[in-house]
């Protein structure tokens, strides 16, 4: 009993020794990050939406927030570049490409408003406000209805009109240098991966 306990400890120590070789060598260089710190710093939202916080909002709720916090730079119509910000929605019948409607994932809209807006006061919007602004932009782009509730689930599941307008469109293929079109849209000569 006693020896078997010892055995467990020895095995565990051996495993630690390998895993911790680097940390031992560079002892006291850097420190462990706490879960609270990571949560406070981590503002990245993936297309899977797993980092989206609780909260919700509609376009109706987003309209006054846009007017108060966004219009000063992006303009009231959203169809023309404002004094500091680009046009956000296409003119009626216009090309969506170049507007946020062409973004392939609504999670990116949420992520970008949350991390970078409003200019000069970045990071001050609350999750409900970010959801409401996301809903407002999507409504003005003709993608959702005015009363549609945007939350973690609907933002993640929303099918954006340009979702498949990217090459490669399969996210799993982007890491493959040949599938992501190499340089200038083609791969001349021998397989660059093989030649590397």
* By CB under 8 A, residue 37 contacts another protein: yes
Q: Which of 2, 44, 54, 93 binds another protein (CB under 8 A)?
A: 44
**Among residue numbers 73 through 112, which ones bind another protein (CB under 8 A)?**
81, 83-84, 86, 97-98, 100, 102-105, 107-108, 111-112
Would you say 1 or 172 has its CB closer to another protein? 172
Are 102 and 114 spatial neighbours (Cβ–Cβ below 8 Å)?
A: no
Distance from C-alpha of 94 to C-alpha of 30, rounded to nearest angstrom: 52
- The number of angstroms, rounded, from the C-alpha of 75 to the middle of its chain's C-alpha atoms is 25
When asked if residue 186 is in the footprint of another protein (CB under 8 A), the reply is yes
Identity of the residue, 11 or 48, whose beta carbon is nearer to another protein in the bound complex: 48
6: Cα separation from own chain's centroid: 47
Question: How many residues of this chain interact with another protein, rule: CB under 8 A?
Answer: 62
DSSP 183: B
d(C-alpha 5, C-alpha 2), whole Å: 5
Residue whose structure tokens are 């009363």: 147
Q: What angle do CA 130, 133, 139 make, to 5 degrees?
A: 140
Cβ 90 to another protein, closest distance in Å?
Answer: 13
Verify binding: residue 195, another protein, rule CB under 8 A: yes
Which SS3 state, helix, strand or coil, does residue 40 take? helix
Residues 193 and 180 sit within 8 Å (Cβ to Cβ): no
**Residue number, 47 or 53, with CB nearest to another protein:** 47
Looking at residues 117 to 136 of the shown chain, list those that interact with another protein (rule: CB under 8 A).
119-120, 122-123
Q: Which two tokens stand for residue 191?
A: 């397989």
Residues that bind another protein (CB under 8 A): 19, 22-23, 26, 28-34, 37-38, 41-47, 81, 83-84, 86, 97-98, 100, 102-105, 107-108, 111-112, 115-116, 119-120, 122-123, 165-167, 171-172, 174-175, 177, 180-186, 188-190, 192, 195-196
């Amino acid at each position: 009993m006693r020896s078997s306990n010892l055995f467990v400890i020895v095995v565990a120590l051996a495993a630690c020794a390998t895993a911790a070789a680097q940390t031992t060598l560079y002892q006291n260089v850097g420190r462990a990050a706490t879960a609270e710190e990571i949560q406070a710093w981590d503002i990245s939202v993936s297309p899977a939406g797993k980092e989206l916080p609780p909260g919700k909002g509609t376009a109706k709720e987003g309209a006054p927030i846009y007017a108060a916090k966004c219009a000063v730079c992006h303009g009231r119509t959203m169809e023309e570049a404002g004094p500091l910000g680009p046009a956000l929605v296409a003119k009626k019948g216009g090309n969506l490409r170049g507007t946020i409607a062409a973004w392939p994932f609504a999670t990116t809209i949420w992520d970008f408003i949350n991390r970078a807006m409003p200019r000069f006061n970045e990071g001050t919007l609350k999750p409900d406000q970010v959801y409401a602004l996301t809903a407002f932009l999507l409504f003005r782009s003709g993608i959702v209805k005015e009363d549609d509730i945007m939350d973690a689930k609907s933002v993640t599941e929303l099918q954006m009109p340009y979702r498949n307008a990217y090459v490669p469109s399969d996210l799993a293929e982007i890491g493959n240098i040949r599938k992501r079109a190499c340089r200038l849209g083609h791969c001349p000569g021998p397989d660059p991966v093989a030649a590397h």
